[in-house]
Amino acid sequence: MKKLKRYRFFFILLLGLLLIAFMNQAIAMTTVQLTGKSILDMLFLLPPIFILVGLLDQWIKKESLIRYMGEKSGIYGVFFTLSLATVAAGPLYIAFPIAVLLLKKGASVRYIVFFLGAWSTVKLPVLVYEFTSFGPKFTLIHICFGLVFYYLTGILFEKIYGQQKLLKADITKEI
């Protein structure tokens, strides 16, 4: 029962889809197609990412991550965070479990905010696409402004939120 309860939003939406299917079959069909495709995409992308996160959790020592992303890591931390965030593919919610792991291993809040911001702004695999469809000027403004903004936000958030405060829920445990 508890397990089913976690799927309640999914079932509510499914009910909504059923209602739409009665009114307009074409829209329902596109929904099923779009949803099916994105679910397949996710099922394809998620397992390797979670396996890597699981491995990192076991193998990376807290001390070494603090050196790369801790409070005193400086410019090194910026580059390390940036390369971590821009290489990975996928929507931002995949980055949440990764961010929690980094926090757990001693990364500072500043770089976590910067990591999430960079993840949602710069993606090396799609950079070419942004460049060709919106032009170099647009792309450059987007990237430079985004990164500077999120770095400053990170500094601000670091003052507000402590590391421990953000670690209330451990995602590697069963809810």
Site for other proteins in 14-33 (CB under 8 A): 14, 16-17, 20, 27, 30-33
143: tokens are 């990237």
Which one of the spans 36-44, 62-70, 71-79 is the region binding other proteins (CB under 8 A)? 36-44
Q: Which of 1, 2, 23, 58 binds other proteins (CB under 8 A)?
A: 58
For the chain, the residue count is 175
Cα(18)–Cα(29) distance, integer angstroms: 11
Cα(98)–Cα(116) distance, integer angstroms: 10
Cα(100)–Cα(11) distance, integer angstroms: 28
- Applying CB under 8 A, what is the total number of residues that bind other proteins? 77
Q: What is the 3-state composition of the chain as percent helix, strand, coil, each rounded to the nearest 5?
A: 85, 0, 15
Least distance between other proteins and beta carbon 74 (Å)? 23
Residue 6 in the binding site for other proteins (CB under 8 A): yes
- Find the binding residues for other proteins in span 105-164 (CB under 8 A): 113, 116-117, 120-121, 123, 125-126, 129-130, 133-134, 137-138, 141-142, 145-146, 149-150, 153, 157, 160-161
